[in-house]
Chains A and B, each alone.
Chain A
Amino acid sequence: MDPNQKRAKAVDRVDSVDTGAASSESTRMCPFPDEVLERVLSLIGSHKDRSSVSLVCKDWYNAERWSRRHVFIGNCYSVSPEIVAARFPRIRSVTLKGKPRFSDFNLVPEDWGADVHPWLSVFSTAYPFLEELRLKRMAVSDESLEFLATNFQGFKALSLLSCDGFSTDGLKAIATNCKNLTELDVQENGIDDLGGHWLSCFPESLSSLEILNFASLNSEVSFDALEKLVSRCKSLRVLKVNRNVSLDQLQKLLLQAPQLMELGTGTFMQELVSGPVTELKNTFSNCKHLVTLSGLWDATPLYLPVIYPACARLTFLNLSYATLRSIELANLLTHSKSLRRLWLLDTVGDKGLEAVGSCCPLLEELRVFPADPFDQEIFLGVTESGFVSVSRGCPKLRYVLYFCRQMTNAAVATIAQNCPDFTHFRLCIMNPGQPDYLTKEPMDEAFGAIVKTCTKLQRLAVSGLLTDRTFEYIGKYAKNLETLSVAFAGSSDLGMEYVLGGCPKLRKLEIRDCPFGNAALLSGLTKYESMRSLWMSACNVTMNGCRELAKEKPRLNVEVMKDEGSDDSQAHKVYVYRTVAGPRRDAPPFVLTL
């Protein structure tokens, strides 16, 4: 038996830094030559499958690492760039995620970390031919962007989602230097917008762009430069402009790019109509390949109909920036029977959702965002009845994100019956700890119904008044659950213990403002190494509890964020994650690694 077979633990596997793909013939278990094996394995895309492949035997481990072109790192601190570079010599594409998800909601202080620069430094020598970089919740500086633009000659695709620390100057560097750029996708970042000149920095020679998304940037870009860019990039298939692009300008762009598959419009309203509405309508009907539409800021009943000709082909319609009312949505949806994904603002109300239920039988994903989440006086938006209407008409729903101000257990039970295929169920009852508004009961049975009925559930976000019973249900029934988000819920340590004791596939657990303490934290001792991370903030965990966890589990990083002026014995924010890279070396003063 080859003693090198079947390395089960990540640490052990990564420690073996073989360089040679050729193992000696006498110990070879695999009947194929390496080249064949690599060729076969190169067809495997999913990183989860590749991880499984690498566990089979040493030959497969080696063949896999040499054939891997894309590496996905879900937590940038779980591994170091050096380890990655040592194991995977031929990477062309990297996806890197940094901060815990709650940083999107301002729960993580600035300067927490997740700086991309150390990665870029290592990659510049290890992967000089790197082509793609996708970053999520990383700290990215202008210097890093400039470094990226100038050190990787063949660089093609940059995607920045929810990152912060850079400005449009960094984008200038990318536009200027990346001669083969195919993708620039800048979404929802904490960016310093110093103006739209960056777009004018694309050289005249650059015609390779396929994806350009600057919808979330605020400053105006030079329309002239944009128009020229769009007209010379014949392979452009995704264009998402920002709100400053007017309807007239959009018209011109669409004439240049009828091949677009995904379009994000600018403002969808104008004071003075220079071209007739029918012209715009014709332009939209000429975009025969359009399947995704977003933007639509300020869309009014006057202009919305121009998209009707394109609606029949749409599979994804993002109306989360358009304050439509029910009647406007209903009219729109009668043209959009092929929709698979729909994002809305809750201004459409329950009536609008009824229209969704009747017009979109193929719908798989629905997200309803609150138009006025912080105005506590307004009692508008959507209720349980809208959700039920959608569930009746859209049995194929698998992904829902729903913000509402009232919900009932009965409604959610009905929804679960109607849509048993949910994989992602994220319900946000916006008032924390709110019970079923009709029965005044906790919302335990609602989520109980979901986990019992929807056996494919991978992601769950709970809300409302919840006792430990909810978590008992989750632990017992949610066999496929990978991500769980909990806020203002639970009655005791038992709640968290139920989850950690069940949910065999749990990878990410994020908890805030719940009465879970040290006993709950420590009940997961044997589980955390099989998870990506645990976040607990404003719970009852103490420093001693965290120290105990850190002591028992040296391969976890147990990080506590100190809050100014809070009790020293309380662990205000706790972030626990598995890692092969040891404690962070770049932790700021307020982060203690125990």
Chain B
Amino acid sequence: MNLRLNLKATELRLGLPGSRSPERNPELSLLSSSKIDENSHFPLFSPKSVVSRNKRGFAFSEGTLGSNTEAHIIQSSMAASVQESHCEANDTKQNHSNAANNSNTPPTKAQVVGWPPLRSSFRKNSMATITSKKVEGKSGASALFVKVSMDGAPYLRKVDLRAYSVYQELSCALEKMFSCFTIGEYGSHGNEKLSETKLKDLLHGSEYVLTYEDKDGDWMLVGDVPWEMFIGTCKRLRIMKSCDAIGLAPRAVEQSCNRK
């Protein structure tokens, strides 16, 4: 199957300007050229596929708010936040996001003054707390966050792998996180005792497989190795359409294709 289908171009994928597009993603750049197909799985966002119901724009620097029916030029940092909001919020935002991508401008770090409304003393305290926790690296004390993306979902999530002790828990968590995006159903397999191989079956039920990128930059099917080894080597997760998972674990993928 040709993985460079323009399907990808119409997938709703958002990202920070300059960081999601293949040329600039440092993690992807580690991939060998044979993995170039992976890059096509991170397409730039296409505004044409967005149905914008609301053209309302808003300004983020004070004093520049004008007519509410016009879309405003906004700082590209807010384009970054588009990753977390839904596409329909503002057509123009995506245009600017793409413009930023296309013109190779790095994302500005400017934020809206005084937003979110938190006292600076609180922010200082809590940020310091977060940083120190991440730096410690004590087992059981620190979290291990990896990004999780799902083909077709408009934004990605992060999960703390140390919050789980078996694949089943991870699968359930991801299920909940991404349930609003699956067209198929994950189904309620809750009563079954899931083994590591059955995880793939679960996901196959809805046309997706769970894959991860390991320390070597290879994309593997989740569930192949013992849990502890998995969290030690997993750098990011991706919920991939089964048909695109060719070359990862032929046996499992064939099964999935047969089931469709």
Residues on A lying within 8 angstroms of B by beta carbon are 102, 104-107, 162, 188-190, 216, 269, 297-298, 300-302, 320-323, 325-327, 345, 347, 369-374, 376-380, 403, 405-406, 428, 430-435, 437-438, 440, 442, 461, 465, 485, 487-488, 490-492, 512-515, 537-540, 563, 566-567, 570, 572-573
Tell yes or no: B247 within 8 A of A by CB. no
User: B81–A376 contact, CB under 8 A?
Assistant: yes
A373, B118: Cβ atoms closer than 8 Å: yes
B53 touches A491 (CB 8 A): no
**A379 pairs with B120, CB closer than 8 A:** no
Q: A326-B163, A403-B116 are in contact. Are A376 and B84 (CB under 8 A)?
A: yes
| Interface presence of B191 (CB below 8 A) | no
A540–B64 Cα gap in the complex (Å)?
9
Q: Which of B54-74 contact A (CB under 8 A)?
A: 54, 56, 58-60, 62-68
B114's nearest neighbour on chain A, judged by CB, is: A105
Interface centre among A162, A347, A442, A573 (most CB of B within 10 A): A347
Check A106 against B114 for contact (C-beta < 8 Å). yes
* In the complex, B133 has a CB within 8 A of chain A: yes
Task: State in angstroms the CA–CA spacing of A162 and B77 once bound together.
Answer: 29
Question: Can you name 10 extra interface pairs (CB under 8 A) apart from A300-B141, A435-B54, A488-B58?
Answer: A297-B129, A321-B126, A325-B160, A369-B118, A371-B130, A376-B84, A428-B116, A430-B116, A485-B117, A492-B68
A491 close to B88 (CB less than 8 A): no
What would 7 A/B residue contacts be, using CB atoms closer than 8 Å?
Answer: A188-B122, A301-B141, A323-B130, A371-B130, A403-B118, A512-B114, A567-B63
B residues in contact with A376, CB < 8 Å: 16, 77, 80-81, 83-84
Residues of B within 8 A of A405 (CB): 84
Give the distance to chain A from B79, nearest Cβ to Cβ, in Å. Answer: 10
Among B53, B86, B113, the one with the most A-chain Cβ atoms within 10 Å of its Cβ is B86
Q: In the docked arrangement, what's the CA distance between A369 and B123, Å?
A: 10
Contact (Cβ within 8 A) A432 B60: yes
Decide if B85 touches A538 in the complex (CB within 8 Å): no
Given A107-B113, A325-B143, A435-B88, residue A537 in contact with residue B62 (CB < 8 A): yes
Q: Chain B interface mostly helix, strand, loop or mixed?
A: loop
Which residues of A lie under 8 Å from residue B56 when comparing CB positions?
433, 465, 491
Q: How far is the CA of A216 from the CA of B122 in the complex (A)?
A: 9
Classify the secondary structure of A's interface with B.
loop
Residues of A within 8 A of B113 (CB): 105-107
Mask for B19-50, Cβ within 8 A of A = 1, else 0?
Answer: 00000000000000000000000000000000
Contact stretch, chosen from B150-158, B211-219, B221-229, B250-258: B150-158
List the A side residues contacting B233 at CB < 8 Å: none
> Is B125 a contact partner of A321 (Cβ separation < 8 A)?
yes
Q: Please determine whether A432 and B115 come into contact, CB atoms closer than 8 angstroms.
A: yes
Using CB atoms, name the residue of chain B closest to A372: B130
Q: Chain A nearest CB: distance from B213 CB in Å?
A: 17
CA distance A297 to B158 in the complex (A): 24
Complex alpha-carbon distance, A488 and B116, angstroms: 11
Residues of A within 8 A of B67 (CB): 515
Report if B195 contacts A (CB, 8 A).
no
Bound-complex Cα distance A461 to B118 (A): 13
B116 in contact with A435 (CB, 8 Å): no
Would B84 and A371 count as touching, CB distance under 8 A? no
Within the complex, which residue of B86, B115, B121, B129 is in contact with A188, where a contact is CB–CB below 8 Å?
B121
> Is A301 in contact with B118, judged by CB distance below 8 angstroms?
no
Q: In the complex, are the beta carbons of B89 and A572 less than 8 A apart?
A: no
Min CB–CB distance A542 → chain B (angstroms): 12
Taking CB as reference atom, which chain B residue is nearest A102? B114
Q: Contacts of A370 on B, CB cut-off 8 Å? A: 116, 118
For residue B132, CB closer than 8 A to chain A, the reply is: yes
Interface string of B74-117 (1 = CB under 8 A from A): 00010011011110111000000000000000000001111111
Would you call B119 an interface residue if the criterion is a C-beta within 8 Å of the partner chain's C-beta atoms?
A: yes
Say yes or no: is B140 at the interface (Cβ < 8 Å to chain A): yes
Nearest-CB residue, chain B, relative to A492: B68
Please measure, in the bound complex, the distance between the C-alpha atom of A379 and the C-alpha atom of B16, giving whole angstroms: 13
- Chain A residues with Cβ under 8 A from B65's Cβ? 513-515, 538-540
Give every chain A residue within 8 A of B163 (Cβ-Cβ): 325-327
A380 to B160, CA, bound (A): 10
Q: Tell me which residues across on chain B come within 8 A of A431, comparing CB atoms.
A: 81, 84-85
Task: Decide: B114 and A379 in contact? CB cutoff 8 A.
Answer: no
Of the candidates B16, B66, B88, the one whose C-beta lies within 8 Å of that of A377 is B16
Chain B residues near A189: list those with CB within 8 A: 121
> Complex formed: what's the CA distance from A485 to B62 in Å?
17
Could you mark each residue 190-209 of chain B with 1 if its beta carbon is under 8 Å from any beta carbon of chain A, else 0? 00000000000000000000
> Cβ of B5 < 8 Å from any Cβ of A?
no
- B1 at interface (Cβ–Cβ under 8 A)? no
Q: Which residues of B contact A345 (CB under 8 A)?
A: 126
CA gap between A371 and B118 in the complex, in Å: 11
CB distance from A505 to the nearest CB of B (A): 23
B183 interface contact, C-beta 8 A:
no
Question: Smallest distance from the beta carbon of A68 to chain B beta carbons, Å?
Answer: 32
For residue B132, which residues in chain A have a CB less than 8 angstroms away from its CB?
Answer: 298
Query: A400: shortest Cβ distance to chain B, in Å?
Result: 15
The 9 closest A-B pairs by CB, nearest first: A105-B114, A538-B62, A515-B68, A188-B121, A434-B85, A440-B88, A379-B157, A431-B85, A376-B81
Known: A323-B133, A432-B115, A435-B54. A373 touches B123 (CB 8 A): yes
Q: How far is the CB of B104 from chain A (nearest CB, A)?
A: 19
Provide the bound-state CA to CA distance between A326 and B112, in Å: 30
In the complex, the answer to whether B89 meets A434 with C-beta atoms within 8 Å is yes
- Which chain A residue has the least Cβ–Cβ distance from B118? A373
- Do residues A369 and B122 form an inter-chain contact, with CB atoms below 8 A? yes
| Contact between chains at A106 and B120 (CB < 8 Å) | yes
Q: Which residues of A contact B145 (CB under 8 A)?
A: 378, 380
* Contact B68 A572, beta carbon cutoff 8 Å: no
Q: By the criterion CB–CB under 8 Å, are A380 and B125 in contact?
A: no
**Which A residues are in CB contact (< 8 Å) with B7?**
none
- Output the residue of B67, B112, B158 with the most chain A CB within 10 A: B112
Distance between Cα atoms of A377 and B68 in the complex (Å)? 28
Report Cα–Cα, A428/B89, bound state, in Å: 17
Q: What residues of chain B lie closer than 8 Å to A512, measured between beta carbons?
A: 62, 114
Chain B residues within 8 Å of A373, by CB: 116, 118, 123
Beyond A491-B56, A538-B65, whether A380 also contacts B86 by CB under 8 A is: no
Contact indicator B62/A380 (Cβ below 8 Å): no
A434 touches B86 (CB 8 A): yes
**Contact flag A437-B86 (CB < 8 Å), given A104-B119, A298-B129:** yes
Minimum CB–CB distance from A442 to chain B (whole Å) comes to: 8
Could you tell me the distance between the alpha carbons of A539 and B65 in the complex, rounded to whole angstroms? 7
The smallest C-beta distance from B8 to any residue of chain A, in angstroms, reads: 22
Whether A440 lies near B86 (C-beta < 8 A) is: yes
Interface digits, B155-194 against A, CB 8 Å rule (1 contact, 0 not)?
A: 1111010010000000000000000100000000000000
